Chain A
């Protein structure tokens, strides 16, 4: 069953620059369908429209046009039913620096209408799971950036939502905290059957965590599919051959051309092939026959970065 459906969802902002008014198209007609229990990654460079889309789906921002149903309710006309059924962790924090971490979490739960004892118990549980033990009484401004990020996440999850929107949940987390959060998110689905919709810049994150990825660029979705399927669209593995001297480049290229179109970057010659593993022994023999001694041979499986490059002509890493 589909828990998020969006049709031609769009949002423009008008901004004033001096006297001139200009329109910024933040989201330009997005169609989405997310099924119950799915973990979906929303991937795109800075300014692609991820946060704007999330804020529309969580009723914080009215769409300029288009429609969306979240948890079975319309975001425009049934906002409070939508709110009752979701959790949201914003990109930019959600606590007052001078408050107390635990109180912020409990109060947030109370605004969802859960009983005080439950909010308190769940809050303390989350503090433990997110490695915030001992920080219950601390003022958020005294927490480190990554600890504050985890506090935001605890707040968003305190009422055990079955549909969660996470806007760059792992930004600012160290690798271990990141892995811990991934585990926690998978666990959320296992325990409650929750649906998770998260945005990220990190390809490895989307790859490791998500059942399905939507790639957004300039306000439009440019691709969608499982990480595997998206990678398959980039035709095959990349073989990168490094030779010792410029004299060998031409010969090496001749050999590699048998597999496909080659690209040359100084001493590195590369080619894409669907089945690198099978080609490799023959390749080495052929190089040997030509008298070329490879310095290094590397086989790279396609990454989501390659997918992005393929789709948009730009590398994600340049933007992120």
Chain B
């Protein structure tokens, strides 16, 4: 009870700050919409070749994962400026649970992501996205769990390095390979003409399975190994992210 109260206080404070300065929320949402408008048309003629009936039912899930991944990965930057302002220390000197301090922030990212995701799917419909509504909701759930993992990891990294200059190169060196190898924009498979070594490399990126699963559920297919593996990886990443995050926040000298 106490724990959830504390989480709520932290979350509400974060939400207030975000709503007061929604620029980042809007920029985060504009990016996938630009992809949808400017990159989507290129995919339409390719749809058949990459094994999709509808280019947007294929493309929107990738953008959704991208949204979850990057919106949340960069959330840690906010924590660094809070740390510089002394907010983190002020929160840490109270008896509030360290996990609540993290979870309040992760939940902020979850809420933002849910709203952004719904908007993205709605706009996708305007472009021609069709599919299973239940599947889309399930896909959104997977993306939200993935986003929560990234947010927790990003906040933990921020609290460890406490410097934008250290954080930015680390995040960039993670995010670009993941973006390309997970097949978010274009799938990496024999069908899309990828060489073997690239396919093998992409097999090592857990996010790839999440993307595949979200694509499948969007078409209404639930009972497939891709969905199973994608869900398993999502849960694993979620648990790992929260574990690393809480551990870092609980550390005494952070």
Contacts and interface: CB of A to CB of B under 8 A. Distances in A.
Interface of A: 58-62, 79-80, 83-84, 86, 88, 90, 92-99, 103, 107-108, 110-113, 155
A80 B2 CA distance: 14
B95 interface: yes
Nearest to A91: B86
B191 interface: no
Contact of A112 (B82, B86, B95): B95
Contact of A111 (B16, B94, B253): B94
Contacts of A90: 86, 89-90, 93
Nearest to A55: B89
A103 B16 contact: yes
A98 B93 contact: no
Q: Interface range on chain B: under 10, 10 to 19, 20 to 34, or 35 or more?
A: 20 to 34
Given A107-B13, A113-B5, 13 more contacts: A60-B89, A60-B92, A61-B252, A61-B253, A94-B87, A94-B89, A95-B86, A99-B16, A107-B9, A111-B94, A111-B96, A112-B95, A113-B95
A20 B12 CA distance: 44
A111 B252 contact: no
B94 A98 contact: no
Interface of B: 2, 5-6, 9-10, 12-13, 16-17, 20-21, 82, 85-87, 89-96, 252-253
A281 to B, nearest CB: 57
B90 to A, nearest CB: 4
Given A62-B253, A113-B2, A98 B17 contact: yes
Contacts, number: 69
B2 A92 contact: no
B17 A59 contact: no
A96 B93 contact: no
A98 B21 contact: yes
B38 to A, nearest CB: 33
21 contacts: A58-B93, A60-B92, A60-B93, A62-B253, A83-B95, A86-B93, A90-B86, A95-B85, A95-B86, A96-B82, A96-B85, A99-B17, A103-B13, A103-B16, A107-B12, A107-B13, A111-B6, A111-B10, A111-B94, A112-B95, A112-B96
Given A98-B20, A99-B13, A83 B85 contact: no
Nearest 5 Cβ contacts at the A-B interface: A94-B90, A111-B94, A83-B95, A111-B96, A84-B95
A93 B85 CA distance: 7
A79 B13 contact: no
A60 B253 CA distance: 7
B13 to A, nearest CB: 5
A27 to B, nearest CB: 14
